[in-house]
Amino acid sequence: MCGIVGYKGRSIAAPILLKGLKNLEYRGYDSAGIATLENGINVVKTKGRINNLSPLTKSLCGNCGIGHTRWATHGAATETNAHPHLSPSGKFAIVHNGIIENFDSLKHELAQKGYVFRSETDSEVIAVLMDDLFDGNELKTFSAVLNKLQGSYAIAMLTYDGKIYAAKKDSPLVIGLSRSETYVSSDLTAFSDKTDKFVIMEDEIAEISDTVSFFSDGKKIQPQIFEWKCKVDACDKSVYPHYMLKEIFEQPDALADTLNHSIKDRCEFLNQINNIHLIGCGSAYHAALTGKYVIESLTGTRVNADIASEFRYRNPIIRQSDLLIAISQSGETADTIGAVNMAKDKCKTACIVNVRKSTLARTARPFYTYAGPEIAVATTKGYTTQLINLYVIAYNMLGKPTGFLRSLEAIPQSVAQTLKLSNVLKYIGELIASKRNVFFIGRGADYAAAKESALKLKEISYIHADCYPAGELKHGTISLIEKGSVVIAIATDKELLNKTSGSILEVKARGAFTIGISSYELDCCDITIKLPAADFYSPLLATVACQLISYYAALHRGCDIDKPRNLAKSVTVE
């Protein structure tokens, strides 16, 4: 969740660290801090956003430092709990992403030795352990501290003599390399304007001084360096007021790019498959649910869709002839990675992922999306490019029929046509912005689209939005419907149109205001948003329409659209 940065070079570190943190702010924004070295380690930190931190760093002039933007797990979002954490001696400062599961016992053990803890965090024990175990050899001590930790971590540590040490376990961390400067970051985008050469950390320790060395089991190793370039304009808002709006309107190009690459993939992982398990968290789970409906109905193959955090702990029935496909935009979702690790010795594993060299892409056979960097916390193009790869999987399973390919190739243009409805979608968004509750209903793949649409609305507008299968309304949910309730019905499946219309009439009879989203006429609704005529992918178009409705509802309510409260982009802890 949290974002980590580090820098050692010839320039003043603070501005570089601040810019890196701004690029990682989507990972957490409860508090932020920086530590640099000049006449000892100097730490500045604050509650709230990185903009609050910036004025505090003007006096920092060292050329070596670390920084952190926090998503709170242990302890409230306060200045005291903000990172970096300084060791009692002042010799070491650490930043940490992850959860130290045995911190309570470690803290108790250290407190008995007389150490006093300033914060409520699990992370501070790392800094205190460094003091407790330090024998003059930093590398040896750092390794000994890591051996005491249980749980997940990505750690960067600044030392009193101007070194940075970095290590990770089950949380992402990369080292960026250039001729005279070295960078540490939670992901590639933080310093993509500074270098295109990176080391993806595994289980080794990085020691950064005037040179960079990597160690595994105490022995120096030679890591693999890979190149990654980011488009210059990929991480800025361009002419748009928010990243989310920019990313919504980038979807036609992102879908076309993903299709052009994916259609060339031989998809050999689909050979001799009896059952498919699709797993994901949040929006990725909704993509899995859509994939279940589409792949099952078109190919006749049994498909299960599961929430990754449930799948990994419920002892699922997995056979050797099964295929597990994990879906994650970042490729760093902890529960999804855990589920893949649980299943990889039992069946084939593949993944739909946007970030190259991510943990998931290195763990399972990657089937990449080409959405480009997605900065807004609420996913848009990341989600729809996952859907198009699921459609391509169905295409391959069917033997690549020409008619199906034509439908796939029509998707980017159909999305572009849907985006032209922005004025009416803005009107709908502003219409529902004052509501406390909004209900979404749908059947089949439309139900999956409705679930994603409800999530998008609640994520960024804080309107309580819930979704139900249309046929389930009579089994309890309809008791919530009263005069003035807003019900948004997604109805793009012609075979189920009459059934969904019946559900709409049931809520109208109880005073609901109904909004229909369909490629067909829905005379039973108070307002109908008419989507472009489409094939099996109509639910994708409905989702795009609801992205804009959610955006404009949140805008009308004055919400922080790109950084909604309590959320983070990449969920790297359980």
Q: Based on the fold, state whether residues 165 and 65 are members of the same structural domain.
A: yes
DSSP string, 384-419: HHHHHHHHHHHHHHTT--HHHHHHHHHHHHHHHHHH
pLDDT surpasses 90 at 438: yes
Q: Does the structure show a pLDDT above 60 at 387?
A: yes
The encoded tokens of residue 394 equal: 């169905």
Distance, CA of 20 to chain centre: 18
Q: What percent of the chain shows pLDDT beyond 70?
A: 98
Q: Is 574 inside any structural domain? A: no
Best mean pLDDT range from 215-224, 416-425, 564-573: 416-425
* Residue 101 belongs to a domain: yes
Interacting residues of 564 by C-beta distance below 8 A, sequence separation 6+? 377, 378, 459, 460, 462
Share of the chain above pLDDT 90, in %: 85
CA distance 272 to 249: 38
pLDDT at 253 over 90: yes
Helix pair angle (138-148, 124-133), 10° resolution: 130
In the residue annotation, 569 being an active-site residue is answered as yes
- Is there a catalytic annotation at residue 451? no
Q: Report the pLDDT value the prediction gives residue 214, as an integer from 0 to 100.
A: 96
Beta strands in 17-91 (DSSP E): 31-37, 41-47, 64-70, 85-86
Average pLDDT of every residue of the chain: 94
What is the mean pLDDT of the segment spanning 445-459?
Answer: 98
CATH code for position 110: 3.60.20.10
169 has pLDDT over 70: yes
Q: Which of 168, 246, 292, 569 is catalytic?
A: 569
Name, in order, each residue with C-beta under 8 angstroms of 20's C-beta and a sequence gap of 6 or more: 5, 7, 67, 183, 185, 190, 191
Residue 484 has pLDDT above 90, yes or no: yes
Is the distance from CB of 244 to CB of 396 less than 8 angstroms? no
Please check the confidence at residue 435 and state whether its pLDDT lies above 60: yes
95 and 220 fall within a common domain: yes
Could you list the residue range(s) of the whole structural domain that residue 443 is in? Answer: 421-567
Alpha-carbon dihedral angle through residues 241, 247, 250, 252, given to the nearest 10 degrees: -130
In which region does residue 74 sit, left (phi positive, over 0), alpha (psi from -120 to 50) or beta (all else)?
A: beta
Q: Which is catalytic among the residues 2, 351, 467, 546?
A: 2
pLDDT tens for residues 304-357?
Answer: 999 999 999 999 999 999 999 999 999 999 999 999 999 999 999 999 999 988
Among residues 197, 227, 257, which one ends one of the domains? 227
Do residues 87 and 145 touch, judged by C-beta distance below 8 A? no
SS3 (DSSP) at 300: coil
**394 falls within a domain:** yes
Residues counted in the chain? 574
Q: In this structure, what are the phi and psi dihedrals at residue 572, rounded to the nearest 5 degrees?
A: -100, 10
What is the pLDDT averaged over residues 478-505? 94
pLDDT digits (tens, 9 = 90+) for 70-81: 878 888 889 999
Does residue 77 form part of some domain? yes
pLDDT in tens, 204-246: 999 999 999 999 988 999 999 988 877 656 678 889 999 999 9
Q: How far apart are CA 478 and CA 503, in angstroms?
A: 10
Question: Helix, strand or coil for residue 231?
Answer: coil
- Select the more confidently predicted residue: 573 or 545: 545
Within this chain, do residues 216 and 145 fall inside the same structural domain, yes or no? Answer: yes
Radius of gyration of the chain (CA): 25
Note whether 181 and 74 are same-domain residues: yes
Same domain, 351 and 440: no
404 & 364 share domain: yes
Q: Is the pLDDT of residue 26 over 80?
A: no
Q: Is residue 232 part of a domain?
A: no
User: Using CB atoms within 10 A of its CB, is residue 233 exposed (0-12), middle (13-18) or buried (19+)?
Assistant: exposed
Mean pLDDT in residue range 114-135: 96
pLDDT of residue 192: 85
CATH number at residue 437: 3.40.50.10490
Return the ∠ at Cα 470 (arms to 466 and 476), rounded to 5°: 70
* Domain count of the fold of the chain: 3
296: number of Cβ within 10 Å: 16
Choose one of 361, 389, 418: the last residue of a domain.
Answer: 418
Q: How many other C-beta atoms are found inside a 10 Å radius of the C-beta of residue 373?
A: 20
Matching residue, tokens 């299960």: 304
> How many beta carbons lie within 10 A of that of residue 561, not counting itself?
23
Q: Looking at residue 97, what DSSP letter applies?
A: E
- Model pLDDT, residue 233: 62
Examine the domain organization and report whether 211 and 94 are in the same domain: yes
Single out the residue of 302, 278, 453 nearest to residue 378, CA to CA. Answer: 453
pLDDT value, residue 200 = 93
Of 305, 299, 300, nearest in space to 286 by CA: 305
**Least confident window among 215-224, 282-291, 416-425:** 215-224
Q: What is the pLDDT of residue 25?
A: 81
For 39-87, how does the pLDDT look when each residue is reduced to its tens digit (9 = 90+)?
999 999 999 888 899 999 998 999 999 999 987 888 888 999 999 999 9
Tokens 């509750």, located at residue: 437
DSSP 8-state assignment for residue 517: E
Task: Decide if 221 is inside a domain.
Answer: yes
Picking from 231-240, 431-440, 455-464, which range would have the lowest pLDDT averaged per residue? 231-240
- Same domain, yes or no: 98 and 59: yes
Does the residue 573 lie in any domain?
Answer: no
Residue 572's pLDDT band (boundaries 50, 70, 90)?
low
Q: How far apart are CA 243 and CA 22, in angstroms?
A: 13
Same domain, 247 and 221: no
* Structure tokens belonging to residue 476: 């309890």
Sorted by sequence, the CB contacts under 8 Å of residue 268 that are 6+ apart come out as: none
Give the per-residue pLDDT at 448. Answer: 98
Same domain, 375 and 506: no
The answer to whether position 113 is within a domain reads: yes
Q: Are residues 250 and 154 in the same domain?
A: no
343 in the same domain as 453: no
Strands 323-328 and 348-353: parallel
Give how far Cα 521 sits from Cα of 287, 362, 403, 494, 518, Å. 26, 47, 26, 11, 7
Phi-psi region of 331 (alpha: psi -120 to 50; beta: other; left: phi over 0): left
6 conformational bin, left if phi > 0, alpha if psi -120 to 50, beta if neither: beta
* Domain end point (choices 418, 447, 470): 418
